[in-house]
Structure 1
Amino acid sequence: MEKINEYVAKQQQEVCAFIYDLNSLTEHVQSLLNPLPEAVQFYYAIKANSDEQVLRALLPHVYGFEVASMGEIEKVRAVSETVPIAFGGPGKTITELTAALAHNVTLYHLESQLQMQRLNWLAQEQGKTVEVLLRVNPSFALPDATLQMAGKATQFGIEQSELEGMLSELSRYPNLRVVGFHFHCISNNLQENTQIKAIEKYITTALQWQQQYDLELSTVNVGGGIGVTYQEQQRPFDWSSYCEQLSALLKRFPELNIAMECGRFVSAYCGVYLAEVTDVKRNHGENFAVLRGGNHHFRLPSSWQHNHPFRVLAREEWPYPFTRPELNDAPVTLCGELCTPKDVLAKGVVVERLRAGDIIVFEKAGAYGWHISHHDFLSHPHPQRVYL
C-alpha cells in the first residue's frame, strides 16, 4: 500500500492505472510450485496476463507457457527461444499452425479432425514430426465451476464418442505423435476435492484408451481451472491440500507426466487497478460513484456480474473552489466513464466514506483485467501500467 500511495502522490491528472508487483508474483508462483509432485509440468496460461514483464518474471520458475494464438506464441518467443510452448485454442488456422511450426512450438492441443489434418499436412511439408495432445470434450459428469468448458455442448475439444472412433485411425497422421490427452473442462473451480476427483477420472479414462487402442501415453493435461475468490463469503481453493491429494494420486500412476496450465491462479494476486472517483451523485434513490476508468480497462467484474473487491484510498486534497461531493455509511454503485449502464464494477456496496477525488483500489486485478477489455471503446486514454 505504501508504493501505491507513493504512486498516487506523484500524479498530476486523474489517477487511472494498473500496478503489478513482480516480486509478489514470483514469490507466489514459487509457493505454488514447491509442494507440487515432480511429475507435474506447470505451464502458465498467458491469456490471463501476457505482458512481457510478467512473462520474464515467471520464465525462470515455470515449466513452460500455454498459448492460444499466433500473437501469444510471438510474445513467448520474444522472451525465450527455447522455453516449452503448449498451443491450445479451438480455432487454429493454417496461418497460425505454420507460424507455430516456425517458432518451434513444443506441444499442440488439437481440438478437431480438421486441426489434425492441417497440422499433419504442414508438418509433412516441412519434414517434421510434432507431439500433440488430443483435447477431449468428455461424456462423463464434471464438477460445477463458474465456467463449464466441456462435458456439454461447447466449441471446445473433440466429443468423446467421436474421439474414440478416431483413436483407431491415428496411422493416417504419420507426422503427428499423439502422446496423450488434454482435459481442460472447468474454469474457476474453488473445490480442491472435486478437482482431484476430476483429475482421477481424466487419468483413468486416458489409461483405458491407451490399453484399448495400444497408444503411446506419456502426458495427461488436466488444464487449469483453479479459481480465485473475489467475494468474502467464498471459500478459497486449498492449494496445500490439493498438492497432498495430488501427490497421493500420482503415486498410483508413476509412468505419467501431468501437465497443468494455470493462469488466473498465478497472476491475479500480483495486480491492482486504481481508478479515481470523478463524481458522486444520486439518481432515483440510488448512489453512484463515477470513476476515471471502467470496464474498457477492467472488464472482469462486468463479464462475471460480480462486485469486485476494493479498498478506498482517501485523499484529503481538494484544491477547487466548489463543494466536494461525498457519501457516508451508504451503499453506492461504482461505475465507469463509458456511455452504457453496463459499465459497473461493483453494485450497491456499503462504504464508510467516499468522496470525489478519492481512489478506488480494485484488488486481485492481475489476471483477466486489462487483457480481456475493449480498450479503445469511446477512445478514452489508456491507464498507466506500472511494474514494481
Structure 2
Amino acid sequence: MNHTATPDLAATLIAENFSRDATGVLHVGGLPLTALADTYGTPLFVYDADGLRRAYRALKQAVAGFAEVDYSVKANPNPAVIRVFHAEGAGAEIASGAEFDAAMQAGVPPEKILFAGPGKSAADLDRVIGGGIGEIHLENREELCRVAAAAERHGTTVRVALRINPGATAQGGAMRMGGKPSPFGFDEEDLSEAVDAVEAEPRLHLVGLHLFAGTQGLKAETLLGQWAYGLDLAAQIARKIARPLETIDLGGGLGIPYFSGDATLDLNALRAGLPPLIETVSTNPLLAGARVVLEPGRYLAGPAGVYLARVLAVKVSRGSRFVITDGGMHHHLAASGNLGQIVKRDFPLVAVSGGEGVSPCTVSGPLCTPLDVLARAAMLPTLAEGDLVAVLQSGAYGLTASPTGFLSHPPPAEVLVDGGQAASIRSRGD
C-alpha cells in the first residue's frame, strides 16, 4: 500500500521553512529556486543556512539546563553545513576518518569531535587519534583492542565511552537501534564485563556512555524515556568504576515529518519532561559533572534542504501520468523509498512554480530501473518539459546516502544560501 505526503504537509513545511512569491515560485533563503536552477543546473541540492540555525537554536533552547547539542555529521557531511552548526557552538559526531577531516575542515576543534560506529578501521583510528580526537565510542571487543593498540603507537591515552545496546524497554522511533540483537555497541547484559575490559587497558580512559536506542523519533515521551534509561545506564557505569563520568551521550534520533500523518516533534513537550532528568543528573555526584550531549543530524539539517530536479518529459501510460525528471534515486535514495523503508511512501514533493489542475502522478528519474521513483502518487499541477519540482526535507541523508555512481550520472551541485547570497559548496560532478 502506498501512502502519499498530502499537500497540507508540504504547505506546512514551506510556510515553516521557505516561501513562495506573488507568482507562486518557491524561494529558499529569499532566493527563487528557478534562478538557482538556471545558475547551478539541475539536479541540485539547496540548503538554507538560516534554516539550519533555526533548528539548532530551537533544540538548544528546548534542552537548555539538561544537555548540549552536537551535530551528527553523517546526516550531511558537507563542511559548509558543519561550519554553520560549529559557529552555533556545536561539536561534531563522526563515523569515519573522512568525516573527521570534514569536521576539521569546517573548523571544529578535534577535542570537540567524538567518533562512533561499529566498524572503525585501524587506519581511521590512527587518523583520528593522531589528530587529537576528543573521544572514541567503543562498540565491540576487537575495536577496544584496536583503539588501545593505536593509542600505544601514538604514545597517548585515549578518552573512550562505551556504546551500550540497551534492553527492549529502551526501544523507540521509526527504526530501532537497540533492544534486539545488533552490531551496534555492547549488549546491556554485558556492561560489567565491557567496563572491566576497558579498565584493564592502561592506554584507555573510560569517561562515558553512548546510548542510541532508535531513530526518527517523533514523540517527546519516547525520547524522554530513552534518555532516562540512558542516565540509569550511566549511573551503573559510574558506580562500577567508582568515579564520576565526564560524558553521557544520549544519541540523536530526533525525527522530522516526511509523510502524511507524521506529527512534528513537540519541543515544548520535550522541555516539559526534562525536570526529572535534570534532577537525576544533578543529585547524583557520579553524574553531576558530566557533559550530557545530544547529537542529532536529521532533525538539524533535514528541513533546511530541498532537492531540485527538472522535468524531462511528461507521459500518460495506460491512464497513469508519469513525470520524468533528471533527478532520482542516485542522488536521493531516501526519497525513492529505497533506504531501508519497508513501505515506500512519498516525501513531500512540490512544483517549484505552483500551477493549476492538481492530480496524482508518478515522478520518476532518469535511471534504467523501476526503483528510480521519487514519488508514486504526488499531487502536482500540470507540468511540462523544463518545469521544476522540489523534494522537501532533503537537507539530511541525501547526496552522500545515495548510490551516486549508479549509471555514471554526474553528482549534482550543492548550494548554501546565507544572508540572501548563494554559494556553491560542491560543484556539479565533484
Shared fold per TM-score greater than 0.5: yes
Q: What's the counterpart of residue 362 of structure 1?
A: 391
Structure 1: how far apart are the matches of 2:225 and 2:76?
28
After the TM superposition, which residues 291-302 of structure 1 pair with which residues of structure 2 at under 5 Å, given as runs?
291-302=325-336
Among candidates 320, 324, 333, match of residue 362 of structure 2 = 333
Q: CA RMSD in A?
A: 2.2
Q: What's the counterpart of residue 20 of structure 2?
A: none
Q: Residue 162 and residue 9 in structure 1: after superposition, are their counterparts in 2 closer, same or farther (change >3 A)?
A: closer
Is 1:290 paired with 2:324?
A: yes
More displaced 10-residue stretch of structure 1: 157-166 or 174-183: 157-166
Residue deviations 1:137-169 (CA, integer Å, cap 9, x gap): 122323432211221122111112233223234
CA drift of 1:349 comes to: 2.5
SS in 1 for 2:311: strand
Among candidates 351, 354, 366, match of residue 380 of structure 2 = 351
Is 1:373 paired with 2:415?
A: no
Instruction: In structure 2, list runs of 5 or more residues that go unmatched.
Output: 1-25, 283-287, 418-430
Instruction: In structure 1, list runs of 5 or more residues that go unmatched.
Output: 317-326
CA drift of 1:9 comes to: 7.5
Q: Are the counterparts in 2 of residues 137 and 183 from structure 1 also a CA contact under 8 Å?
A: yes
Is 1:309 paired with 2:348?
A: yes
After the TM superposition, which residues 204-219 of structure 1 pair with which residues of structure 2 at under 5 Å, given as runs?
204-219=232-247
After the TM superposition, which residues 165-204 of structure 1 pair with which residues of structure 2 at under 5 Å, given as runs?
165-204=193-232
Among candidates 28, 41, 44, match of residue 55 of structure 2 = 28
Structure 2: how far apart are the matches of 1:377 and 1:4?
31
Task: Give the letter aligned to residue 148 of structure 1.
Answer: R
Is 1:46 paired with 2:73?
A: yes
Task: Give the letter aligned to residue 130 of structure 2.
Answer: A
| TM, length-normalised to structure 2 | 0.82
Is 1:249 paired with 2:277?
A: yes
Task: Give the letter aligned to residue 346 of structure 2.
Answer: N
Task: Give the letter aligned to residue 195 of structure 1.
Answer: L
Q: Percent identity?
A: 28
SS in 2 for 1:34: helix
Q: Are the counterparts in 1 of residues 46 and 414 from structure 2 also a CA contact under 8 Å?
A: yes
Q: What's the counterpart of residue 342 of structure 1?
A: 371
Q: What's the counterpart of residue 258 of structure 1?
A: 292
Q: Are the counterparts in 2 of residues 14 and 276 from structure 1 also a CA contact under 8 Å?
A: no
Q: What's the counterpart of residue 88 of structure 1?
A: 116
Q: Residue 358 and residue 293 in structure 1: after superposition, are their counterparts in 2 closer, same or farther (change >3 A)?
A: same
Q: Residue 61 and residue 358 in structure 1: after superposition, are their counterparts in 2 closer, same or farther (change >3 A)?
A: same
Q: Are the counterparts in 1 of residues 179 and 213 from structure 2 also a CA contact under 8 Å?
A: yes
SS in 1 for 2:262: coil
Structure 2: how far apart are the matches of 1:167 and 1:15?
51
CA drift of 1:385 comes to: 1.8
Q: Are the counterparts in 1 of residues 238 and 245 from structure 2 also a CA contact under 8 Å?
A: yes
Q: Residue 74 and residue 205 in structure 1: after superposition, are their counterparts in 2 closer, same or farther (change >3 A)?
A: same
| TM, length-normalised to structure 1 | 0.91
SS in 1 for 2:173: coil
Task: Give the letter aligned to residue 309 of structure 1.
Answer: P
Structure 1: how far apart are the matches of 2:325 and 2:89?
37
CA drift of 1:240 comes to: 2.4
Residue deviations 1:224-263 (CA, integer Å, cap 9, x gap): 0011101232111112221232244212311143111100
Q: Residue 168 and residue 16 in structure 1: after superposition, are their counterparts in 2 closer, same or farther (change >3 A)?
A: closer
Is 1:274 paired with 2:301?
A: no
